Amino acid sequence: MQRLIFVLFLIAYPLCLTAAFADTVYLKSGESLKGLVVEEHRDRIVLSTEAGEQTFFRRDLDDVFYDDPERNYLYLGEQALEAENFSAARGFFRKALQIYPEFQEADDALKRLEDLQRKRSVSWKAARPEADLEGQWGLLLSAYTPSSGPSRPWPRVEKAKPGSLAERLRLLPGDELISFWGDSLAFFSPSEAAEVLLGPTKTPVKLTIQRRVLLAPNPTGRDWPGLELEMSRMGLTVSKVEPKQPAASSGLLAGDRIVQLGEISTRYLPLPEARKVFQDSKTQGILMTVHRDLHFDRE
């Protein structure tokens, strides 16, 4: 399973969250741990516990049990999808949506299943994934390297050719490809990522990118930074960007999810404290890390 789940907003600090730690990870060693699964990638998961975040490789896992029933159905659907049991996967994803109709991860999983089935139905395969991605999308990727740090394990944009789909999507050098229909691209090589992204023309794609956004200081302006924030199910989210204000000039868009403010992760940051970070940064500006969803059709 290759999912990336962005953590929900948690009301208080981790040490006060015993009741929220209801997911259970079962290890092959026989040990079990309770916590909150905050990230899932194809080879590892990250579990938030009272003692801090812990990473577990899937080869060491026996099973994972989620407190929310809809997330258990999503988990079962992902396992069925890995086993290429498409009928069972669809049933589990639909059951998750039946329990919680606004469950975005399950809806994305269904779209990913449909994309895979569409490729299979026409025997689609990229002959040269990286070259095809560059030729069809105008997108050249560079690989994740361990030297870039464990917090940046995604393939990143090296170049978006002028006049290409990549340029029309406003992809910039340094952007990192986070997920495809909610499925984590962490630790994917450029060739592996290209093979996932490519497909039959006129078929839909949801690509999530990570970008660094510099919000310039404005010590004299009254409305700095010119944005409104909310804590959505997917995390700290920009709900509105005022035109002609620093946030708009930085390229920030409504719907962007802010995952880091300077050196501060927003994973457990309450909304009032996030607003205070902005207020305290007015004189020097702030570098943010944001996640942005791009919806488009393949060309």
Spell out the SS3 assignment of the chain: CCECCCCCCCCCCHHHCHHHCCEEEEECCCCEEEEEEEEECCCEEEEEECCEEEEEEHHHEEEEECCCHHHHHHHHHHHHHHCCCHHHHHHHHHHHHHHCCCCHHHHHHHHHHHHHHHHHHCCCCCCCHHHHHHHHHCEEEECCCHHHCCCCCCCEEEEECCCCHHHHCCCCCCCEEEEECCEECCCCCHHHHHHHHCCCCCCEEEEEEEEEEEECCCCCCCCCCCEEEEEECCEEEEEEECCCCHHHHCCCCCCCEEEEECCEECCCCCHHHHHHHHHHCCCCCEEEEEEEEEEEECC
What pLDDT sits at residue 54? 92
What pLDDT sits at residue 151? 59
What pLDDT sits at residue 22? 83
What pLDDT sits at residue 147? 58
The full set of domains in the chain, from first to last, is: 14-121 (2.30.30.100), 129-199 (2.30.42.10), 212-295 (2.30.42.10)
What pLDDT sits at residue 59? 93
pLDDT averages per 10-residue partition of the chain, 299 residues: 39 37 88 91 89 91 92 94 95 97 96 96 93 96 70 88 96 96 94 96 96 88 85 92 91 96 92 92 93 96
